[in-house]
Amino acid sequence: MVFQDLALWPNLSVLDNVLLGQSAIELNRRKAGARADQALVMCGIEALANRLPGELSGGQQQRVALARAIATRPAFLFLDELFVGLDLVMKTNLLSEILALAEHRQFTILLVTHDPVEVTALCSSAIVLDRGKVVETGDLEELLHSPQSETLRVFRQHTLP
């Protein structure tokens, strides 16, 4: 899981934050270290391994949180408003990288967002909530073709020409 607030330990290095994410998995130090190193490379932040989170930009911090999550080699990656606060260029790059990681690692992304750009970039199916209740569910393209809820009708206006 990648939390909206990222939940990075400010007193731990980037590498140690990624290693901490693996603490619930029974791995020896060598394997955990190799997975952490690989996750840092996959997220393009290997050069930042010894820095503290407070020394990083917001986008770099998000990559650390993502590396921590993928180092566990999950079947599902839960992203809770991961892209909040990123500029359009950083968001677009990170969306592309996460999609490539998901395809490479064969994991499913569960995305919580209010942003149509994020949904259309990462999702093939959707559950639409309105005031905490499920109002639509199914294949995203089909839902966008015939939206039943006001939420999805407005969403459609922002995603289709």
93-151 pLDDT tens trace: 888 888 888 888 888 999 998 887 888 888 999 998 888 899 999 999 899 889 888 88
Statement: residue 4 has pLDDT above 90 = no
Q: Cβ of 69: how many Cβ atoms within 10 Å?
A: 22
Q: Looking at per-residue confidence, does 85 or 17 come out higher?
A: 17
> What pLDDT is recorded for position 2?
87
DSSP letter (8 states) at residue 2 = B
Q: Is the pTM of this model over 0.85?
A: no
> What pLDDT is recorded for position 160?
63
Q: Looking at per-residue confidence, does 156 or 12 come out higher?
A: 12
Q: Where are the alpha helices (DSSP H) in the chain?
A: 14-20, 29-42, 58-70, 88-105, 116-122, 140-145, 150-159
Average pLDDT value over all residues in the chain: 88
> What pLDDT is recorded for position 101?
84
* Nearest of 92, 83, 134 to residue 111 by alpha carbon: 83
